[in-house]
């Protein structure tokens, strides 16, 4: 079966990916992107970047970095953040909470936009 042939549920336009066939689960706010989706690829790259950060800094309690484009798109498309929220200047705090498991906390810009 070709994943790209699966129809998108247009009744939940905010909970779908514009770049692939992924349709989110409104209850869990999860969204699994297709192979080759630029958002999914960006998330994978950022996840690898975070993993490398903690591998080279095993004592780091957390990492704070800007929210990347793919994360901002994913948050909106999964329904975790309303689509009209501007995530420019937002940051994410990543904490290792177990082997290969990291929590993410999204932080608004300091002092407001």
Cβ–Cβ < 8 Å for 102, 95: yes
Residue with smaller CB distance to Zn ion, 20 or 81 = 20
What minimum distance in Å lies between the beta carbon of 18 and Zn ion?
7
* 22 lies in the site for Zn ion, by CB under 5 A: yes
Cβ–Cβ < 8 Å for 17, 31: yes
Residue from 20, 67, 70, 92 in contact with Zn ion (CB under 5 A): 20
* 39 lies in the site for Zn ion, by CB under 5 A: yes
Contact flags string 41-80 toward Zn ion, x per CB under 5 A: ----------------------------------------
d(CA 18, CA 12): 12
Name the token pair of 98: 């177990």
Closest to 64 (Cα-Cα) out of 99, 7, 26, 109? 109
Judged by the rule CB under 5 A, the positions of this chain that interact with Zn ion are 17, 19-20, 22, 33, 37, 39
């Amino acid at each position: 079966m070709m994943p790209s042939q699966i129809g998108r549920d247009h009744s939940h336009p905010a909970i779908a990916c514009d770049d692939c066939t992924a349709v989110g689960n409104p209850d869990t706010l999860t969204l699994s992107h297709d192979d080759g989706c630029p958002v999914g690829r960006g998330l994978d790259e950022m996840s690898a970047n975070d993993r490398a950060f903690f591998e080279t800094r095993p004592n780091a309690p957390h990492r704070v970095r800007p929210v990347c484009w793919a994360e901002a798109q994913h948050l909106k498309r999964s329904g975790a953040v309303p689509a009209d929220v501007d995530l420019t200047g937002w940051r994410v705090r990543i904490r290792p909470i177990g082997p290969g498991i990291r929590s993410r906390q999204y932080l608004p810009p300091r002092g407001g936009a």
